Amino acid sequence: MGKNTKTFDEPIYDARTLGTGRMLVLGIQHMFAMFGATVLVPIITGLDVSTTLLFAGLGTLLFHLITGRKVPAFLGSSFAFLGGYAAVAPLLSDGSSNKELLPYACFGVAVSGLLYLVLAFLFRTFGAGRVMKFFPPVVTGPIIIAIGLNLAPSAINNCADNWNWIPAITAIAIVICCNIWGKGLVRIVPILLGVLGSYLVSAIMDALGVEMIDYSQVASAAWIGFPVHFDNTVFSLFAKGFDSGVLITAVITIVPIAFATMMEHIGDISAISSTTGRNYIKDPGLHRTLIGDGLATAIASLFGAPANTTYGENTGVLTLTKVYDPLVIRIAAGFAVLMSFCPKFAAIIETMPSGTIGGISLILYGMISAVGIRNLVETHVDFSKSRNVLVAAMIMVLTIGISYSSAGSLPLPFGGVSLSGLATGSLVGILLNAVLPGKDYKFEDELPNPTGVDFEMTQGESDKMDKAQ
């Protein structure tokens, strides 16, 4: 078949046969798929949108370099770490970002990224099956459930003020309709469409005299600018002096979340393997994909961007187009890098009304908890066993109980360090699972392992995974 008559009826592993024009269009489509979820994380946490886009692109390129340019995965902002940012650097009373504490949270996320490297080494040395016995779904599932429940009040607060419930309900309605009844790309990008629809409603309300959006930042923003700001980086802590107690607390609070995101990573690589018909668990291997994801997360966090994760939205685009060439993903990464150098574009995104953020967050945080339940169900955790009930119970009651206690954390008797509810629950759950008899979780070393953990709001890859099981 000639170069210009190539169709998408059969899987395409070399996008160059489609021609330059089609490759660029496919790259833009992948960027469109990741965009809504990727920029939502900095909007919620107070991190910089331009820096986020820059390191989503650079992180994806680094991942492809480490994995031998074999895996068609895009790395965007991780929702799972929202609970960590909220615990270490909560928004101020006026809803603005906590610029003083955000670098501490970023340091904790960077250390979490390095934990991926430790797990990759253990996988390579002992085999994934042996290592995963210590991090089974009975541990990761309840951790994920608790992350979502801890975040729920912030979503309610965003919707509660003035007229914010109108754009919030609009966002929720659009996301639900796109996710349930949408077809093709519409079903893959419900967050982006929900944000756009809710933003439009807010703009109409603003035009009618209800103050919803502040456009002053857009007018003053430059068209071209450097996307990294030193004061937002972790390096700024060491330049101006830092509180070692807060730094250690940030690490202890955020690092346990990595156990959940590593399960997400394994699930995503398994989904991509099933979608493309190639076993990336075996070649290039989970140890390489974990290193790529972990290094991308660590580097991004050091420079003030959110943690990265392999994106389910882009796996959905793979299913839709049947173009499995990783080159197309790298083109999308290049577009993300280019967009990061436009501060005016970032300023437009940062004017997102709190009602829009609240509506999307309501679904998002609930979805995080639901993903934890799915993790338990799809991996067939046996709750007729007392040891599993005890492990799950201790994780959830400690995490939620400590978080909503009067102290809000568990202070340690040295160095001004305290344990968050999430850190306490996670550590106790991991230790209990390790010492109690009856571990029965089996993980295949060189086969796709559906984990049920996917924090991205898309169903594009799920159908494919269901057929593969």
Q: Is the pLDDT of residue 285 over 80?
A: yes
| From 78-87, 280-289, 308-317, the region with the lowest mean pLDDT | 308-317
Residue 46 CB contacts under 8 Å (≥ 6 apart), including other chains: 89, 91, 96, 97, 98, 99, 102
Structure pTM? 0.84
Per-residue pLDDT, 67: 96
pLDDT tens-digit profile of 346-372? 998 888 888 898 899 898 888 889 888
The DSSP symbol for 140 reads H
Per-residue pLDDT, 58: 97
Residue 136 CB contacts under 8 Å (≥ 6 apart), including other chains: 379, 381, 433, 439, 441
Which residue would you say has higher pLDDT here, 93 or 456?
93
Give the helix/strand (H/E) hosting 325: none
Per-residue pLDDT, 441: 81
Domain ranges of the chain: 15-435
Q: Is 126 exposed, middle or buried (0-12, 13-18, 19+ CB in 10 A)?
A: exposed
- Helix, strand, coil % in the chain, rounded to nearest 5: 65, 5, 30
- pLDDT band (50, 70, 90) for residue 438: confident
* 213 CA to centre of own chain: 27
Residue 184 near residue 320, CB atoms below 8 Å: yes
Per-residue pLDDT, 451: 67
Write down the mean pLDDT value for the chain.
87
Mean pLDDT of 388-410: 91
Percent of the chain with pLDDT over 70: 92
- pLDDT band (50, 70, 90) for residue 79: confident
* Closest listed residue to residue 108, CA positions, set 267, 241, 242, 227: 242
Mean pLDDT of 303-307: 96
Per-residue pLDDT, 2: 45
Ranges of beta strands (E only) in 105-211 are: none
- What tokens were used for 36? 């809504």
Per-residue pLDDT, 457: 59
Helix (H, G, I), strand (E, B) or coil at 56: helix
Residue 137 near residue 377, CB atoms below 8 Å: no
Which residue would you say has higher pLDDT here, 187 or 394?
394
Q: Is 278 exposed, middle or buried (0-12, 13-18, 19+ CB in 10 A)?
A: middle
| From 6-15, 294-303, 425-434, the region with the lowest mean pLDDT | 6-15
Per-residue pLDDT, 232: 94
* Closest listed residue to residue 59, CA positions, set 307, 270, 256: 307
- pLDDT band (50, 70, 90) for residue 275: confident
- pLDDT band (50, 70, 90) for residue 154: confident
The DSSP symbol for 5 reads G
Task: Report in angstroms the alpha-carbon separations of 265 from 35, 75, 137, 227, 397.
Answer: 19, 10, 14, 27, 26
